[in-house]
């Protein structure tokens, strides 16, 4: 049976050129990048090159990139690092209701330690309420953390405007760009962001490595203490193969972004229009246009997302409902509730997140098998 992978927002397969670039750094070029001998120089040069590749994708200076273990660490570093370095100025944080749990749970952790957090509402498309943002900024606000693109519904926020508002008020602005980096243009200077999180495994790079952009002059405390790695911002011997892989993935993403965007929008819209046409009582979630090119989130009324996932899996199709981190829990997605869906409707959601290896035939196959699955489940459902 052919297997069709449509869960790229959870993780993407590694690109073969990325893998090839990484391999020598496991055995032949294994030096510790802090060592002064040639083995060390070889790896420290590789890290410097990767730093340039990441910086180039973000429009940043290489010196402002810190390598981390991925999006989760970058988010924790940004929010806790700013909170603890600036608590004398204030203890107020602004975020949105639809952030990834790497940000939401970090904010909740800080709330238990005396910080105050405002959770901005979003509209039915998942766009943050900018008026509420302006009204929420106080004298003691130290950071605004709002994601660039949502992992579940794909809605893209106007980070240029949020950056302007933050700069006007002299507040740091962090954006979680784990889902947008490499998929759509990101420019830290144009957006006026102070901090930006990204991760390699969402853009055909390896798992367990990412980066945090930190604007020069930002007051931030490191989370990890130890050696002088990453200019004293993140201690620990560098994951050289991972960092080299992240750099290569960024280089490839930058080169192929426009072509990939066009291809993915075409595939996504082909799937969306066929599903909407063939299945009654569906809702397409997320913004109609300001949406990640690869993301389609739909609710199918009167059925459970989990049952559809299992039946699609038996047909060789891998999708998810909500985010991978919340599946396994019976709570409906906090993102779908925030855009105003009822618990019952939110339970019937599926996320199709496409990747560059997908084809039109893949879309047509899903559009052929899913209507039958929904029909069967609806016949069995107590909700119909
Ligand atoms: N932020 C967003 C928006 C994500 O989608 C993810 C991963 O799903 C993360 C953060 C966490 O990234 P990582 O898996 O690299 O820790």
Over residues 77-119, the pLDDT tens digits come to 999 999 999 999 999 999 999 999 999 999 999 999 999 999 9
Residue nearest to ligand 1 atom 13, measured at CA = 71
Both 176 and 228 in one domain: the answer is yes
Q: What is the DSSP letter of 62?
A: G
What percentage of the chain reaches a pLDDT higher than 70? 97
Q: In the predicted model, is pLDDT for residue 383 greater than 80?
A: no
The residue-averaged pLDDT of 191-204 equals 98
The residue-averaged pLDDT of 208-237 equals 97
CA distance 323 to 59: 29
Both 198 and 269 in one domain: the answer is no
Per-residue pLDDT tens for 24-39?
Answer: 999 999 999 999 999 9
> Is 70 a pocket residue for ligand 1 (Cβ < 6 Å)?
yes
Both 53 and 201 in one domain: the answer is yes
Residues acting as catalytic residues:
325
Q: In the predicted model, is pLDDT for residue 47 greater than 50?
A: yes
> Is 178 a pocket residue for ligand 1 (Cβ < 6 Å)?
yes
How far does the centroid of ligand 1 lie from the alpha carbon of residue 161, in Å? Answer: 23
pLDDT at 259: 97
> Is 79 a pocket residue for ligand 1 (Cβ < 6 Å)?
no
Q: Which residues pair with 67 in a beta bridge?
A: 211
Residue nearest to ligand 1 atom 8, measured at CA = 10
Domain range for residue 124?
16-252
pLDDT at 325: 47
Both 212 and 277 in one domain: the answer is no
Q: Are 92 and 118 in contact (CB under 8 A)?
A: yes
Mean pLDDT of the chain: 96
Q: In the predicted model, is pLDDT for residue 204 greater than 80?
A: yes
pLDDT at 40: 97
The residue-averaged pLDDT of 269-295 equals 98
Q: What is the DSSP letter of 148?
A: S
The tokens 């709330």 sit on which residue?
111
CATH code of 307's domain: 3.90.1150.10
Strands (DSSP E) found in 84-140: 92-96, 116-120
Both 370 and 301 in one domain: the answer is yes
Q: Are 67 and 243 in contact (CB under 8 A)?
A: yes
Q: Which atom of ligand 1 is nearest to the CA of 102?
A: 10
Pocket test for ligand 1, best of 74, 147, 151 (most atoms within 8 A of CB): 151
pLDDT at 124: 98
Both 358 and 328 in one domain: the answer is yes
C-alpha distances (whole Å) from 56 to each of 62, 191, 238, 247 are: 8, 15, 20, 10
The tokens 């909500």 sit on which residue?
322
Query: How distant is the alpha carbon of residue 154 from its chain centre?
Result: 9
The residue-averaged pLDDT of 297-313 equals 96
Q: In the predicted model, is pLDDT for residue 258 greater than 70?
A: yes
Pocket test for ligand 1, best of 9, 10, 71, 176 (most atoms within 8 A of CB): 71
How far does the centroid of ligand 1 lie from the alpha carbon of residue 203, in Å? Answer: 12
pLDDT at 329: 57
CA distance 301 to 201: 32
Domain end marker among 252, 274, 291: 252
Both 247 and 264 in one domain: the answer is no
Phi, psi angle pair for 236, to nearest 5°: 130, 140
pTM (2 d.p.): 0.97
How far does the centroid of ligand 1 lie from the alpha carbon of residue 198, in Å? Answer: 8
Q: What is the DSSP letter of 286?
A: S
Q: Which atom of ligand 1 is nearest to the CA of 147?
A: 3
pLDDT interval class at 127 (50, 70, 90): very high
Both 110 and 211 in one domain: the answer is yes
Both 368 and 226 in one domain: the answer is no
How far does the centroid of ligand 1 lie from the alpha carbon of residue 353, in Å? Answer: 14
Pocket test for ligand 1, best of 95, 175, 179 (most atoms within 8 A of CB): 179
Which element (helix H / strand E) includes 153?
Answer: none
Per-residue pLDDT tens for 75-88?
Answer: 999 999 999 999 99
Count of H-run helices and E-run strands, the chain = 13, 12
Number of domains in the chain: 2
> Is 43 a pocket residue for ligand 1 (Cβ < 6 Å)?
no
Both 232 and 263 in one domain: the answer is no
pLDDT interval class at 381 (50, 70, 90): confident
How far does the centroid of ligand 1 lie from the alpha carbon of residue 215, in Å? Answer: 21
Q: 20-27: which pairs have CB atoms within 8 A and are 24 or more residues apart?
A: 21/244, 21/245, 21/248, 22/206, 22/241, 22/242, 22/244, 22/245, 22/248, 23/241, 25/240, 25/241, 25/244, 26/241
The tokens 């039915």 sit on which residue?
124
Q: In the predicted model, is pLDDT for residue 53 greater than 80?
A: yes
What percentage of the chain reaches a pLDDT higher than 90? 95
Which element (helix H / strand E) includes 198?
Answer: strand 195-199
Name the token pair of 378: 């609806």
Phi, psi angle pair for 362, to nearest 5°: -60, -45
How far does the centroid of ligand 1 lie from the alpha carbon of residue 71, in Å? Answer: 5
Q: Which residues pair with 184 in a beta bridge?
A: 181
CA distance 223 to 316: 42
């Amino acid at each position: 049976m052919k297997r069709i992978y449509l869960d790229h927002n959870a993780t993407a397969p590694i690109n073969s050129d990325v893998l090839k670039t990484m391999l020598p750094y496991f055995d032949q070029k294994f030096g510790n990048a802090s060592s002064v001998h040639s083995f060390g120089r070889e790896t420290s040069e590789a890290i410097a090159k990767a730093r340039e590749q990441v910086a180039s994708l973000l429009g940043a200076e290489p010196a402002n990139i810190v390598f981390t273990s991925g999006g989760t660490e970058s988010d924790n570093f940004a929010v806790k690092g700013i909170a603890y370095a600036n608590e004398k100025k204030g203890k107020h944080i602004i975020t949105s209701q639809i952030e990834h749990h790497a940000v939401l749970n970090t904010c909740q952790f800080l709330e238990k330690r005396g910080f105050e957090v405002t959770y901005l509402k979003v509209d039915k498309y998942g766009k943050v309420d900018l008026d509420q943002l302006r009204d929420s900024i106080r004298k003691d606000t130290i950071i605004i953390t709002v994601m660039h693109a949502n992992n579940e519904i794909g809605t893209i926020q106007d980070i240029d405007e949020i950056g302007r508002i933050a700069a006007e008020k002299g507040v740091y602005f962090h954006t979680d760009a784990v889902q947008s980096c490499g998929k759509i243009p990101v420019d830290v200077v144009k957006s006026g962001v102070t901090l930006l999180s990204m991760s390699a495994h969402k853009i055909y790079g390896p798992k367990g490595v990412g980066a945090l952009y930190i604007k020069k002059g930002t007051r931030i405390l490191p989370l990890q203490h130890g050696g002088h790695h990453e200019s004293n911002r993140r201690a620990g011997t560098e994951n050289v193969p991972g960092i080299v892989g992240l750099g290569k993935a960024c280089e490839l993403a930058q080169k192929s972004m426009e072509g990939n965007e066009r291809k993915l929008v075409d595939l996504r819209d082909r799937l969306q229009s066929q599903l909407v046409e063939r299945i009654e009582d569906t809702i397409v979630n997320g913004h109609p246009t300001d949406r990640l090119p690869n993301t389609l989130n739909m609710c199918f009324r009167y059925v459970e997302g989990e049952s559809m996932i299992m039946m699609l899996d038996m047909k060789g199709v891998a999708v998810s409902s909500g985010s991978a981190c919340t599946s396994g829990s019976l709570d409906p997605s906090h993102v779908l509730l925030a855009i105003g869906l009822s618990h019952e409707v939110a339970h019937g959601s599926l996320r199709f997140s496409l990747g560059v290896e997908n084809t039109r035939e893949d879309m047509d196959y899903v559009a052929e098998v899913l209507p039958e699955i929904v029909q069967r489940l609806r016949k069995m459902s107590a909700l119909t």
